[in-house]
Amino acid sequence: MSNIPVGYIDQRLVSARYLLSVGDLNGYKNVLRDLVKLSGDYPILGLDIDGVVTDFVDVFKTLSNSWPGLVIVVSYRSDYDNTVKLLNELGIYFDELVLSPTLDKFNIVCDKGINIFIDDQDECIQNINDDVVVLKVRNGGNFVDGKWLYSKSTGKLV
């Protein structure tokens, strides 16, 4: 916490008290979340939207709102404003939204320092470094009749 400007924590605590006094519980929660993030070195969580957040909203709403570190949403979408609107409507907390121009999200995951990345498509996760925990969500688009679906470029029959 030595890199935190002098007085910053005091200012944030004053903000938190004010927000609580006027009944802005979301603002209060966000200030406290900022302070918690400053207190430790937590892993950065990366989430995909389609097939992940959209298929398991309650799970990822709970996870994103309780995650102690940064939450970065990485999606193969092109409309930033509508994507922010959707995430807000679903109640998904995020510190940053990054729209990927390709299915391969390797560069974004590396550049953002994401430590744990959750997606549902092999094309999005196949090139991610081994030091990143990758979690693949099973859904109707990648798992049918008890079997994983994959392409020749992303899977190998054993």
Verify that 79 and 129 share a domain, yes or no: yes
The whole domain housing 15 covers 1-40
Provide the whole-model pTM: 0.79
Query: Is residue 151 in a domain?
Result: no
How far, in Å, CA of 53 to CA of 119, rounded? 9
Q: In this structure, are 18 and 75 located in the same domain?
A: no
> Tell me, what's the pLDDT at 153?
87
Angle in degrees, CA 140, 120, 105, rounded to 5: 150
Q: Are residues 50 and 34 in the same domain?
A: no
Arithmetic mean of pLDDT over the chain:
90
Distances (CA, A) of 84 to 2, 33, 91, 107, 138: 33, 20, 11, 21, 24
φ, ψ of residue 51 to 5 degrees: the values are 85, -10
Both 11 and 23 in one domain: the answer is: yes
Using CA atoms, how far residue 28 sits from 13, 36, 89, 108, in Å, is: 9, 12, 19, 30
Q: Is residue 156 part of a domain?
A: no
Provide the domain count of the chain: 2
54-94 pLDDT, tens digit per residue, is 999 999 999 999 898 889 999 999 999 999 999 999 999 99
pLDDT, mean of each 10-residue run, the chain (158 residues): 66 86 86 74 94 97 91 96 97 95 94 95 93 95 92 85
Q: Are residues 83 and 31 part of one domain?
A: no
Is 157 a member of any domain? no
Phi first, then psi, for residue 81 (nearest 5°) are -60, -45
Decide if 146 is inside a domain.
no
* CA nearest neighbour of 122 among 44, 46, 51, 45: 51
Same-domain pairing of 4 and 73? no
How far is the C-alpha of 95 from the C-alpha of 98, rounded, in Å? Answer: 10
**Do residues 96 and 106 share a domain?**
yes
Q: State both tokens at 69.
A: 């570190």
Provide the pLDDT for residue 4.
63
What is the maximum span of the chain, computed from C-alpha positions, in angstroms?
61
Q: Are residues 26 and 80 in the same domain?
A: no
Lookup: tokens for 124: 């999005």
Judgement on whether residues 108 and 70 belong to the same structural domain of the protein: yes
